[in-house]
């Protein structure tokens, strides 16, 4: 019979994102340019219960400004809404 087939990414927008240091890893990602920042979703087959959302922008020290956080979550929710309600295990506005 053999091992089971690997899982599919939870969202159709996720594309394979090779890991240069370990080509065996199966990581899938999606990036969306939001003007002055980039929204990045990452899903790793080694930890299939976790879908990471990242706010990426040139940022030096300190925390992300409070007024930018709701826009980030709104963008994330729009992309993952087809998955239904999801728990948020952690949130760190710093890179």
Answer yes or no: is pLDDT of 94 > 60: no
> What is the token pair recorded at 38?
């980039």
Q: Give the pLDDT confidence score for residue 93 in this predicted structure.
A: 55
75, 39 contact by CB (below 8 A): yes
Which residue segment(s) compose the domain that 60 sits in?
15-80
Question: What is the pTM assigned to this prediction?
Answer: 0.86
Q: What average pLDDT score do residues 36-48 get?
A: 94
Answer yes or no: is pLDDT of 29 > 80: yes
pLDDT tens digits for range 43-90: 999 999 999 999 998 876 777 788 988 999 999 999 999 999 888 887
Domain count, the chain: 1
- 56 within some domain: yes
What is the CA 6 to chain-centroid distance, rounded? 19
- 33 within some domain: yes
- 1 within some domain: no
- 8 within some domain: no
Q: Which residues, 6+ apart, have CB-to-CB distance to 39 below 8 Å? A: 31, 32, 53, 54, 55, 56, 72, 75, 76, 79
- 87 within some domain: no
Element (H or E) spanning 76, and its range?
helix 69-80
- 66 within some domain: yes
């Amino acid at each position: 019979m053999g091992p089971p087939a690997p899982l599919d990414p939870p969202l159709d927008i996720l594309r394979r994102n090779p890991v240069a240091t370990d080509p065996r890893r199966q990581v899938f990602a999606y990036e969306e340019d939001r003007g002055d920042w980039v929204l990045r979703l990452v899903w790793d087959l080694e930890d299939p219960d976790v879908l990471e959302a990242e706010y990426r922008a040139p940022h030096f020290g300190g925390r992300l400004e409070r007024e930018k956080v709701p826009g980030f979550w709104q963008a994330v929710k729009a992309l993952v809404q087809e998955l239904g309600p999801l728990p948020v295990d952690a949130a760190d506005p710093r890179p």
